[in-house]
Chains A and B, each alone.
Chain A
Amino acid sequence: MFSHFRTMWLVFLHLFRKKVTIQYPEEKVQLHPRYKGRIVLTKDPDGGERCVGCYLCSAACPVDCIALQATQDENGRRYPEFFRINFSRCIFCGFCEDACPTYAIQLIPDFEMGEYKRQDLVFEKEDLLINSQGKYPGYNFYKVAGMDAGVKQKGHGANEELPVDVHSLLP
C-alpha cells in the first residue's frame, strides 16, 4: 500500500523537473559532432573523391550492406565506379568509418532518413558523396601514399626521397 503512495508522490515530483521530451520535428535534436548517423562519402581538400575503392568498409560491415566496384582513371587513381549502401540493412555501427584508410566514409550527425518505401533506402554514390571533407579536414591519401596517381609524382610525397637512380652504384 505504501509503495503505491510513494510512486504517486514521485510522479507528482516529476511535474517540477525540466522536460526531456522535445517537440520533434518542430524542435530539432542537438546531436554531438561524432554522432553516428547517416553515412556520407567525403572529398579531399583538392576536391577529389577520397574513396579509393579498397573494399575495407564493405568487408568490415557486419550486415554486408555496402557494395562497390573500384575502377581507375587514366592516371591510375582509384575511385568507386559505383558505391551502394543499403540503409534498410545498415545498423549505423560505424565500423566502415573505422575501417576506412582514407577518411572517405564518415558517419555524420543526421538520422532523418525515414522513407515510406524500403527501396528508397538504397543509396548510390550520387546520394552519398558530399562536397566536404567532413570531420577530417586536410587529408589527401594520394599525397602520402607511395604510388603516383596523378596527385603527386613518385618521390614528391611528404615523407619520400626522390626516386632511386637505377644506374648509380654510389652508396
Chain B
Amino acid sequence: MPKIFIDNTSYEVKAGKNVLEACLTLGFDLPYFCWHPAMGSVGACRQCAVKVYKDENDTSGKIIMSCMEGVRDGMHLSIDDKAAKAFREQVIEWLMTNHPHDCPVCDEGGSCHLQDMTVMTGHDYRRYDYKKRTYVNQYLGPFIHHEMNRCIQCYRCVRFYKDYAGGKDLNVFAAHNHVYFGREKDGTLESPFSGNLAEVCPTGVFTDKTLRQHYTRKWDLTSAPSVCQHCSVGCNTIAGERYGGLRNIVNRYNAEVNGYFLCDRGRFGYEFVNSENRITKPQVMHQAVDENALMHHLETVLTNHSLIGIGSPRASMESNFALLDLVGKENFFCGVYNEEMMLERRITDILDSGKIPVASLKQIEDADAVVILGEDIWNTAPMMALAVRQSVMKTGGREATEKTPMPEWHELAVKELQQNTKGFMVNVTVTETSLDEIASLNINAAPDDIARLGFAIANHIHPSLELKNFEEAVLAKAKTIADELLKCSNPVIITGTSCYNDPVLRAAFDIAAALKAAGKAPAIAFVVPECNSMGLAMMRGHAFDTAVRRVNREPNVTAVILEQDLYRNLPAGIVDEFLSKCRNIIVLDSLNNATTEKAHVLIPASTFAEGDGTLISYEGRAQRYYQVYVPDNKYIRESWKWLSRMKMIISGKANGHDPHHDSVISSLETALRQFAGISAAAPSSGFSIHGEQIPREPHRYSGRTAMLANRNVSEPKPVADGDSPLSFTMEGYQGTPPSSAIPFFWKPGWNSPQAVNKYQQEIGGDLIGGNPGVRLFVKSSGNMPEFFKDYPEHFRERQNKWLLLPQSHVFGSDELSVYSAGIAGRSPEPYMGLSPVDAKMLDVTEGSQVTIKSEKEEYSFPVKIVESLRNGIVLVSKGLPGTQGMSWGNWVELAK
C-alpha cells in the first residue's frame, strides 16, 4: 500500500486510486464537481485543487487537480495550503458569477452539492458586478425539470446520460462560456435512466418533476430505507414522506446492487401509494365495515370452512409466510400458472444447487463477457441492462489500455484509447432490443432455437453431448461465441422467464456449467417477473391450476387471496371459474382491481411505504424495506398483520394485538429452512446504539408543533415502531447507522446525496458494515455441475397457429408503477408484433386490427411489423391495459 503525506501526516492509501478518492476515503472534505465515483475523472471543474510537493524538502510545491493525479508512494501533498485553498475558493467564485439568485425556489436547495461546496470553500460574497448569463429552459418530459441558468458546466449530465447510460437525446450545445446542456429541441428524455440526472447534477439544472408536484425539502422528509417494488432486481431506495403522502424515491447506495443509480420506473413509479384508487376501508359484501364487524365476519368465514391461500409474487415474504401459516403448507398456492411455476422452480433448483453462483449487478458490471439468452432485460430489469452496458464498456476500456497502462478512473484518456473497442456481449433475443447497439453479436430467434444455440455454445466449450440436426450456421455462430467466451475469465450468463421456455433456462445453465468445467469463473442471472417472484418460488407452493382443481373438487372453500390481481396474470376464464367455485373470497390488497371487485371480504393492505417487509431479488438477496410513515387511516396495515390476526381468530387466541415483525421472521426461518438466515437482512426491532433508535427524520426536520395543529393544537405522542429499530421522530442516534437501516444520507457539510462518500469503506466501495441484504443462495459446492443436455427440437411454425410471447415495456408493463401519471403517459399503446412474412400471409399491414384467439379469450390489437421477428411468433405488449391474462408461451390463432 502506498504511503502518502497529507499536510505532513502519513496515511496508507490504496494503490491505483486518484488523490481525490484517496483524500475522500480518508475522510477529508475536499470539494469537487465533475468527478463522480461511478464515472471517473475528467478534470473539467478545477475544483479539487491541492498542492503537491516534490519531496519533504520542497516548500513551494505546485497546484494540481487531485482527481487527475494517481497516488504515488511517498507523495507529499497539502489540502490546507493557503494557495490551494484560495484557488478552490476562487473557482467557486467564478462558477457563481452566473449562478442565479434562485435557491429559495430551487428544488435542489437543502440537498445541493453546489451549496455544500460553496460553504466548504468559504466563498460567501459576490464581488462580480456585471450581468448574469441566462438560458431558456426546455421541456424534458414528465420526469425531469430543466432550469439551465443554474448550470456550472461540470458535464456530469452528458457523461452520465450519453457515456454511462447510452442515451442519445441529451447533449451539450454552443461553445465556450455559454455551453448548453439539453436536447436538440423540447421533448421527453427518452432514456429510462433519465431520473438519475436529478442526482448526478450537482446543482438544480435537472430536478425531479414529480417531487415538484408536492415539493418538500430533504430535511423535512420522513425517510426510510426501502426496496424498489417494480422489478426483480431489488434496487435499494430511500422513500420520503411528508404530511401523510409519499413524496419521492431516491437512490440508496448498495455497492453490489444498484450502486449510485436507479431506473425511472423505480424512481418515479411510487405514486400508486398516493393513488385515489387505494382501498381505504374493510368491506364485507361491498359494504364498508369497521374493524369489529370485520373480525366478527371473519370469524364465521374462517372457521367451519377449509381454507386455501393464494400467495403473491409482489407481496413481502412476511405476508406470504403469514398466509402459508394461516392456511397450512398443503393449502398454499401461488398466483401463477403451472408453466410459469415450473420455470421459476427450475431457476430456484439451479440456484439452490449452488453449482453456479448467481451474479449480482456488481458482478455483471465487472464481468468480462456477457451472454443474454432470450430476455429483453432493457425492459424487464432495466438496471441490469445498465450493468451489462458497464461490463461492455469497462471490458473495452481494459482491453484498450492493456498496452498503454492507464488507470481506470482516467475517464477521458481511457475513452480516447478505447474509441469503439467494446467488451464481448452476445444478445440472443426473440426480437430486437435496446441493448443491440452495444452487443458484439445480435441473434434473433424463436425460444427453442435460442435454447439450441445455447446448448451448442455449451457443447463447443465443453463437449458433453451429441448435437443432431443442427444447422451449420447455428454451429458456426455457437463456435464463434464459445471461442470468445473461452478467452474470458469471469463471464456472466443472463436469462429469464420472459421466453416462457424451460430449455432456454437449461441452456443458460449448461453454458455456465461448461465454462466452469473449462476452468472459468462464470456466474448466472435469472430475471423473474416480479419483485418477490423469487421468494414466492422458493416457498414452493402449488401452482394456481392445482387450486382450481381443488375448488372444483371441494365445495365450501374459503380462498384468501394476497395482494395480486389474478386477472392480470391468469386467463380470465380460469380465474372466473376459480372465484365462482369458492364459497368465500377474502382479498387483501392496497389498490382496487378486477380481483378485489370479486371479493366477499376486502381488507386494505399497506403498500411498501406503510409497512415493513422483506423481498427476495432475482439473486436470492433478501432485502428489508421499512415502513416510511404511519398512515392516518388505521385500517391500512401490512397483510402479514391482518393474516396473523386471522390466525389468532382461528386458534382462539385473539388478544387485539398485532404480532411483531421479529416473531414473523423467526417463525419463517424455523418453518421453511430454505429461508434460514433471512433475519440477518436487517437488525432486529430491539436494536439500538447507545440505547438510541435510528431516527427517520433528519435533525433539521421542521414543523413538528404545527403540522397537525390545525386538527388539535396539542401535539400527539409520536408513534412507536415496534417492528424496526427506526423511530418516527428526529430524536435518536445521529451517527452512521447499520448499512441496512440508513434512512437518509447526511453528514455535516454534506447535505446532498454525495454524503454517501462518508458511509463507504472506500469511495465507490462497500458500505461501512457491508452491503445490505443477505444472499440466500450462497451454498457453493465444489463438485462439477451436471449438464442438462436435453436440447429441444428446432422451432417449427405451425399451420395457422402462432407462439404468443410477451413484449415488455419499461414503462407500462409493471402493474403498480403505471399509477404514476408520468409513467402512464410514457407507456405505449398495446400492439401485436408480427414478422413481415406472417403479416403478408395474414394480409395485414401496420396498424390493422388482428384478433388473437386463445382457449377462451379473444384479444384485438393493432399490428406492428417487426422485421427482426421469426415467422410463427406473435409478440404482444405485456401488462398494458387489454393485455391482461394472456396465456404467454402458448399457441394461439390469429384472425383479421
Residues of A at the B interface (CB closer than 8 Å) are 52-56, 58-59, 61, 63-72, 78, 84-86, 88-89, 101-102, 118-119, 121-122, 124, 141, 144-149, 154-155, 157, 159-169, 171
Question: Are A52 and B104 in touch, CB under 8 angstroms?
Answer: yes
A99 shortest CB reach to chain B, Å: 10
- Which residues of chain A come closer than 8 Å to B150, judged between CB atoms? 146
Q: 10 A–B contact pairs at CB < 8 A? A: A53-B215, A67-B702, A71-B215, A78-B105, A145-B104, A146-B149, A147-B102, A149-B105, A166-B173, A166-B174
Give 4 closest A-B pairs by Cβ, nearest first.
Answer: A146-B100, A67-B703, A54-B104, A67-B706
Closest A residue to B176 by beta carbon equals A171
Closest A residue to B100 by beta carbon equals A146
Closest A residue to B704 by beta carbon equals A64
Within the assembled complex, what's the spacing in Å between the Cα atoms of A54 and B219? Answer: 12
Within the assembled complex, what's the spacing in Å between the Cα atoms of A78 and B107? Answer: 11
- Which residues of chain B come closer than 8 Å to A89, judged between CB atoms? 705-706
Q: A160-B132, A166-B178 are in contact. List 17 more A-B contacts (CB 8 A).
A: A55-B219, A58-B220, A58-B706, A61-B703, A67-B702, A67-B707, A68-B703, A72-B212, A88-B713, A146-B149, A154-B136, A159-B131, A161-B131, A162-B134, A164-B135, A166-B173, A166-B180
Contacts A54-B109, A64-B705, A85-B706: A101 and B103 contacting too (C-beta < 8 A)? yes
- Which residues of chain A come closer than 8 Å to B215, judged between CB atoms? 53, 70-72, 78
- Which residues of chain A come closer than 8 Å to B133, judged between CB atoms? 161, 164
Question: Are B713 and A86 in touch, CB under 8 angstroms?
Answer: yes
Within the assembled complex, what's the spacing in Å between the Cα atoms of A141 and B100? Answer: 12
Interface 0/1 of B713-725, CB less than 8 Å to A: 1100000000000
Q: Answer whether residue B700 sits at the interface, using C-beta atoms and an 8 A cutoff.
A: yes
Question: Are A155 and B220 in touch, CB under 8 angstroms?
Answer: no
Within the assembled complex, what's the spacing in Å between the Cα atoms of A168 and B102? Answer: 26
Q: Among A53, A119, A169, which residue has its beta carbon within 8 angstroms of that of B174?
A: A169
Contacts A163-B134, A167-B174: A63 and B705 contacting too (C-beta < 8 A)? yes
Q: Answer whether residue B243 sits at the interface, using C-beta atoms and an 8 A cutoff.
A: yes
B629 shortest CB reach to chain A, Å: 16
Contacts A67-B709, A69-B214, A69-B243: A59 and B702 contacting too (C-beta < 8 A)? yes
Quick one: which of A146, A148, A165 has the most chain B CB within 10 A? A146
Question: Are A146 and B705 in touch, CB under 8 angstroms?
Answer: no
Residues of B at the A interface (CB closer than 8 Å) are 100-105, 109-110, 131-137, 147, 149-150, 173-176, 178, 180, 182, 212, 214-217, 219-220, 242-243, 700-707, 709-710, 712-714
Within the assembled complex, what's the spacing in Å between the Cα atoms of A144 and B133? Answer: 13
Within the assembled complex, what's the spacing in Å between the Cα atoms of A162 and B135? Answer: 8
Q: Is the interface of A mostly helix, strand, loop or mixed?
A: loop
Within the assembled complex, what's the spacing in Å between the Cα atoms of A147 and B714? Answer: 40
Quick one: which of B217, B707, B709, B713 has the most chain A CB within 10 A? B709
B201 shortest CB reach to chain A, Å: 16
- Which residues of chain B come closer than 8 Å to A88, judged between CB atoms? 713
- Which residues of chain B come closer than 8 Å to A55, judged between CB atoms? 110, 216-217, 219-220, 702
Closest B residue to A83 by beta carbon equals B706
- Which residues of chain B come closer than 8 Å to A72, judged between CB atoms? 212, 215
Within the assembled complex, what's the spacing in Å between the Cα atoms of A70 and B132? Answer: 27
B105 shortest CB reach to chain A, Å: 5
Q: Among A68, A86, A161, A171, which residue has its beta carbon within 8 angstroms of that of B134?
A: A161
Within the assembled complex, what's the spacing in Å between the Cα atoms of A65 and B242? Answer: 16
Question: Are B705 and A168 in touch, CB under 8 angstroms?
Answer: no
Within the assembled complex, what's the spacing in Å between the Cα atoms of A64 and B219? Answer: 13
Within the assembled complex, what's the spacing in Å between the Cα atoms of A58 and B103? Answer: 16
Question: Are A86 and B103 in touch, CB under 8 angstroms?
Answer: no
- Which residues of chain B come closer than 8 Å to A64, judged between CB atoms? 701-706
- Which residues of chain B come closer than 8 Å to A121, judged between CB atoms? 713
Closest A residue to B133 by beta carbon equals A161
Q: Among B134, B706, B707, which residue has its beta carbon within 8 angstroms of that of A155?
A: B134
Question: Are A164 and B174 in touch, CB under 8 angstroms?
Answer: yes
Quick one: which of A58, A71, A167 has the most chain B CB within 10 A? A58
